[in-house]
Amino acid sequence: MDPVWCRELPAAIIGNSETAVRPVVSFTPNWRKIFVYESVTITCSVHPSAQWVHQFYWYKDNKRLHMNNQSVTIDFADETHTGNYQCKTNTTQQSDPAKLSVLNGWVILQVPLLIYKGDILSLKCHSFPGRKAQNAMFFLHDKLLNSSGDILQVGKVNLSKNGPYKCKKEVYSSNTYRIYIDDVSVSVTELFSSPELKVIPYPQTVGHTLTLICDTSLPPLKEDTELHFAFYRNGQKVQEFGTSNKHQINSAHFTNSGYYTCEVKTVNDDIKKISNGLYLKIASQVELDGPQNSSQLPRMA
């Protein structure tokens, strides 16, 4: 990126990662669209499991940019800064593209770049800075929504809030107020993945300690979200909700066999997900070894 229009910010120190982890590009302020001459900071957010991150690499429309810090600020944006931004580090894969639109117009409907289930969502009917404007109106599927001023408070979102939003606003131009319209499609993303129940070690034998793991993942931008986990056997809860995603069975017995599931939820119970079932059969070593070969049986007298 040309240093005329951006300044680099200090790179963050990130610890512990796997090469399969994808970083996420985010914007501050968190809008997909901005007007020319406005500013925005673009950041490469990395999951805390990413270790030994020493270098950041940036791309715009699949072309490498000459910058290597975690964040960059565009001080005075122009239309040439419109594009798909991606980043990677020396220990991660490349992020998904994040589309920034820099526009020279009258009205834009501003929506956050990433919207996760459970977020408190606000939309802004933004007119060009310095222009007199009035009477902002918002629509979803062409249905008028209740709003106050330039901001639409959608509230806590779920997948039902997906759809085409539109705003109208009167902007003063050529000695009169004229109506200008902009629209955008809102897509709500799941906060965490569907849990997968795993067990170690395998196979499961009598007397061994078994650990069930309720495996799910949060996106890097939501890594601080507290999740609670519970475990069930044959539909009955064997471990109450808590912050641990593991359930341990000490000195496993035949009676521990059964159909296990786990459940994940947010602290406020807004989002809950249940794993697929996993059948555990606690076997004896004799069962695992199978029937003995006749040549190994003792001879009859």
Number of domains in the chain: 3
| 157-204 per-position pLDDT tens digit | 988 889 999 999 999 988 999 999 999 999 999 999 999 999 998 777
Does one domain contain both 236 and 175?
no
Residues 135 and 162 in one domain: yes
- For residues 180 and 168, the answer to whether their CB atoms sit within 8 Å is yes
Q: What is the CATH number of the domain that holds 38?
A: 2.60.40.10
Q: Are residues 3 and 97 in the same domain?
A: yes
Report how far residue 134's alpha carbon sits from residue 194's, in angstroms, rounded to the nearest whole number: 44
Same structural domain for residues 78 and 9?
Answer: yes
Tens digit of each residue's pLDDT (9 = 90 or more) over 18-40: 445 788 999 999 999 999 999 99
Within this chain, do residues 61 and 136 fall inside the same structural domain, yes or no? no
Please indicate, yes or no, whether residues 212 and 231 belong to a single structural domain of this protein: yes
- Structure pTM? 0.79
How far is residue 50 from each of residues 18, 41, 132, 192, 292, measured CA to CA in Å?
6, 22, 47, 18, 49
Domain region containing 59: 1-104
What distance in Å separates the CA atoms of residue 64 and residue 199, rounded to the nearest whole number? 43
Can you say how many angstroms the Cα of residue 227 is from the centroid of all Cα atoms in its chain? Answer: 14
Confidence of residue 272 (pLDDT cuts 50, 70, 90): very high
